[in-house]
Chains A and B, each alone.
Chain A
């Protein structure tokens, strides 16, 4: 039976990992707009100028 202790602990830790990922995704604004991304993904990609630089600017 003692194997259960390990199994349950492991499953809980994994589950908590997902919960943390969820909280992070909410905090980073992924749930703020639940419509536009669904349309955006249908457009053909074209890389715009210097994405990393802009990303840095957004983060700041």
Chain B
């Protein structure tokens, strides 16, 4: 039988979490913890309660406390210099990344920081990037105080080693929008000036006016040709230089020929040229590129270990003084102090204190590891049992973990290795086009040689692969948008195509198919009285063992009672007295004196009260909801494998989910994972799904690396796509959806071929009037845009159905 937990009725006024501990109130409002209450009181005292009016329970849960003195390193002048991006006599400008930012209230409170700290003169939020840019008077406040102000109201700035390593603030690429604006402007005006010619209005009587219009058009087309279209020329040229014909090359050729022929016609007064069509197509193609490349600024896909490591660390000098220095300046032999819940920045030897290191993110081991004095602790682990002192063995960039980033997988770009099928089709298309042009030319060579040049240029003008580019960019753009809706954030359009081609899915275990930090617990045995529960909870509270922690979080809250004669038997269990009652908890061997028959998977913790065993807790790793179904669906079309850094204790259970025939590898080091993927890639196209730093190599090496993240604000290693843990069960549908990409592009391309035939008909006849080109171009472009976005939204229907 299992315990029934009281369902909480109230939610926290500040953060909206369920209130488990009653009695934390202020102004008749309930809070889940004193942290939330404190934040509320600060906000209330400063008359900033508008914060709570804008969205319901907008606050950030305050249950995890932030250590006093955490921001001491912000007093260090060199660190300040690196973080502050501008300063003058009065003001310092600094930008912080606040991953907690999530709603309107956040924007409001962060832009009213001056009420909380008079030294802050202005604060501007960029919600998409989750950044706040602060301007403060350094005569009135310090960077540390600013960070503390933010932390006090629940927005702890995320300051990592990465913040000082990279060159400051990547400039947002504005030239793309400017190009778009200029192309649109010129296109509109050229169209307008060409209208009289389309309908032969007035220009016939007044040739002077006609010339004037033509020259104006020519002037207007210059910025399009030389500036807006430049990326096609550059990319096409780069491709050719590397011996690769990409889609931009034939497009650039078509633009060039259109422009030259128009210049010739206008100059020789023999015609009006096709400048309207040329600027139109450039405009549409730029829109397509813009639409496709609207990336998600708030998710960074190229993070390495530096964004995971802290920026500052306390160094203890031989004379006992403690100072804060930047992690990048750590030297071998430095003595450092690591506090609870901090990450160890460099390989070092434990010198003082009790270390319980959680490596789950780094190596995939699900249980924390205890280390004793003198043992080596590798960088990346998180200390979970109080403060420790370490002596640095290797500099940060030399440590065992960071070596992984030296692998070649991190240096080659996948986009370079795999070539999109778009380029392949465009090549065939180009060959076909040249043959048509040649055929037409040879025909006219026999019948009317004067028409040869006219025909060849007309063919190249009317049938460039622009339609293909439009199909691809608009399909991808819309698909990326739709995938976003289902919380799969892809890095760029090429990922969709690679994802469609995969035939093997490799899962990491810890954090990927299991839910981080959650476990399934049931109690088997006698019914526990509330008093017994309180006793067990109090005892478990003394121990730092992960299993004890799980039990504490499982039992309903009760105040901890003092435990006397507490003893911890490493590897077995703990015991102690509460009042006069003796309580023991631990392995079957420890409690019963004999090994229990192994009936279940997972871990068991036996409980004895006053020497009598009352039952045991059965603790299982919690697998993600719907894992079994996902695996079933996936196995219909791809191979599934497991690659875990953890031990094989759950292998038997995993076999029941994944089936007997599934390959499973345990105790894999990060490099092993990378090599395994490399091996697989000789025959397969691999999708790797992982979450931690230990998967970073495998994610980079695989054809598509998806990082699972339960909270997209959190750190995720470099990858091609980030999938929210909540939508893990949609994985199969999302892959199927990506497979539709090619279909849609082919369909719209077929449509554009139909238009091309009409145009080609006129072209080979040597009779392509500008007005025909000017009608065909927008019609074909717009119908392609409608078709691609329509189809990709239509296929979304299936996704929607499976979500319900």
Q: Could you say which residues of chain A place their CB within 8 Å of the CB of B185?
A: 15, 19, 22
Report the minimum CB–CB distance from A60 to chain B (whole Å).
6
Chain B nearest CB from A41 CB (Å) reads 11
Check if B88 sits within 8 Å of A60, measured CB to CB.
yes
Chain B contacts for A8, CB-based, 8 A: 193, 216
Interface: B610 (CB within 8 A): no
Bound state CA distance, A1 and B114, in angstroms?
A: 63
Q: Does B660 contact A (CB under 8 A)?
A: no
Residue of A nearest to B114 (CB): A48
CA–CA, A36 to B128, complex, Å? 8
A8-59 contacts to B, CB under 8 A, are: 8, 12, 15, 19, 22-23, 26-27, 29, 31-36, 39-40, 42-44, 46, 48-50, 53-54, 57-58
Q: Is the Cβ of B126 less than 8 Å from the Cβ of A22?
A: no
Chain B, 82-126, contact with A by CB distance < 8 Å: what is the 0/1 string? 000010101101000000000010011001101000000110011
How far is A59 from B693 in the complex, measured between Cα atoms in Å? 41
B209's partner among A1, A19, A26, A35 (CB-CB below 8 A) is A1
Q: Min CB distance, B728 to chain A, in Å?
A: 27
How many chain B residues sit at the interface, stated as a range, is 20 to 34
CB pair A5 B212 closer than 8 Å: yes
Partner-contacting stretch, out of B172-180, B400-408, B481-489:
B172-180
Q: Are the CB atoms of A58 and B135 closer together than 8 Å?
A: yes
Docked pose: A8 CA to B195 CA in angstroms: 13
Contact A57 B114 (CB under 8 A): no
A43 lies within 8 A of B182 (CB): no
Cβ distance A22 to chain B, nearest Cβ, rounded Å: 5
The verdict on B268 contacting chain A, using a C-beta distance below 8 Å, is no
Please name all residues of chain A whose beta carbon is closer than 8 Å to the beta carbon of B107 when the two chains form the complex. Answer: 36, 39-40
B206 interfacial by beta-carbon distance below 8 Å = yes
A29 to B133, CA, bound (A): 14
B127 within 8 A of A: yes
- Give chain A residues whose Cβ lies under 8 Å from the Cβ of B112: 46
B163 to chain A, nearest CB (A): 20
Contacts of A35 in B (CB 8 A): 127-128
How many Å lie between the Cα of A59 and that of B129 in the bound state? 22
In the complex the two chains form, is B216's CB within 8 Å of A54's CB? no
Q: Is the CB of A19 within 8 A of B122?
A: no
Task: Tell me if B181 counts as interface (CB < 8 A to partner A).
Answer: yes
- Which residue of the partner chain, among B114, B125, B174, contacts A36 with CB atoms under 8 Å? B125
Query: With A and B bound together, what is the CA distance between A22 and B114 in angstroms?
Result: 33
Asked if B435 is at the interface of the complex by the 8 Å CB criterion, the answer is no
Decide yes or no: A57 and B135 within 8 Å by CB, A26-B177, A33-B129, A43-B111 being known contacts.
yes
Residue of A nearest to B122 (CB): A54
Q: How far is the CA of A54 from the CA of B91 in the complex (A)?
A: 8
Q: Compute how far the CA of A53 lies from the CA of B137 in the bound complex, rounded to whole angstroms.
A: 12
Q: How many residues of A contact B (CB 8 A)?
A: 32
Q: Which residues of the other chain, A, contact B126 by a CB distance below 8 angstroms?
A: 32-33, 36
A27 to B216, CA, bound (A): 27
Residues of the B chain whose Cβ atoms lie less than 8 Å from the Cβ of A5: 209, 212
Tell me the smallest distance from the CB of B482 to a CB of chain A, in Å: 19
A32 close to B135 (CB less than 8 A):
no
Interface residue? B681 (CB, 8 A): no
A22 x B216 contact (CB < 8 A): no
* A22-B181, A23-B181 given; A4·B127 CB < 8 A: no
Interface flags for B290-315 (1: CB within 8 Å of A; 0: not) read 00000000000000000000000000
Q: How far is the CA of A23 from the CA of B183 in the complex (A)?
A: 12
Which residues does chain B contribute within 8 Å of A48, judged by CB atoms?
A: 114, 121-122
Find chain B residues with CB under 8 A from A33 CB: 126-129
Q: In the bound complex, how far is the Cα of B181 from the Cα of A34, in angstroms?
A: 16
Chain B residues whose CB sits within 8 angstroms of the CB of A60 once the complex forms: 86, 88
- Does B189 touch A at the CB level, under 8 Å? yes
Contact with A along B124-150 (1 / 0, CB 8 A): 011111000001000000000000000
Contact A32 B127 (CB under 8 A): no
CB pair B88 A57 closer than 8 Å: yes
What's the minimum C-beta distance from B87 to chain A, rounded to whole angstroms? 9
Give A5 to B379 CA distance when docked, in angstroms.
74
Given A1-B202, A5-B212, A49-B114, residue A19 in contact with residue B182 (CB < 8 A): yes
Give every chain B residue within 8 A of A15 (Cβ-Cβ): 185, 189
User: In the assembly, what is the distance between CA of A34 and CA of B290, in Å?
Assistant: 14
Shortest distance in angstroms between B46's beta carbon and chain A's nearest beta carbon? 13
A48 to chain B: closest CB distance in Å?
5
B127: A residues at CB distance < 8 A: 33, 35-36, 39
Q: Is the CB of A40 within 8 A of B128?
A: no
Q: Is the CB of A40 within 8 A of B111?
A: yes
B174 contacts A26, C-beta separation under 8 Å: yes
* A9, closest chain B residue (CB): B216
Which B residues between 156 and 212 are near A, CB-CB below 8 angstroms?
Answer: 172, 174, 177-178, 181-182, 185, 189, 193, 202, 206, 209, 212
> Does A26 contact B178, Cβ atoms closer than 8 Å?
yes
Nearest chain A CB to B215 CB, angstrom units:
12
- In angstroms, Cα B140 to Cα A50, docked, is 15
Q: Which B residue's beta carbon lies closest to that of A31?
A: B177
Please measure, in the bound complex, the distance between the C-alpha atom of A53 and the C-alpha atom of B89, giving whole angstroms: 12
Q: How many Å from the CB of A55 to the closest CB on chain B?
A: 9
CA–CA, A41 to B129, complex, Å? 19
Find chain B residues with CB under 8 A from A4 CB.
209
B95 to chain A, nearest CB (A): 13
- Contacts A27-B178, A32-B172, A43-B108 aside, 15 further interface pairs with beta carbons under 8 A come to A12-B216, A15-B185, A22-B185, A26-B178, A32-B174, A33-B128, A35-B128, A36-B126, A40-B111, A40-B125, A42-B104, A48-B114, A54-B135, A57-B91, A57-B93
What are 22 A-B pairs at a CB distance below 8 A?
A5-B209, A12-B189, A15-B189, A19-B181, A23-B178, A23-B182, A26-B181, A27-B178, A31-B177, A32-B126, A33-B127, A33-B128, A35-B127, A36-B107, A39-B104, A40-B125, A44-B50, A50-B121, A54-B91, A57-B135, A58-B93, A60-B86
Question: Closest 6 A-B residue pairs measured CB to CB?
Answer: A36-B127, A57-B91, A33-B126, A32-B172, A19-B185, A22-B181
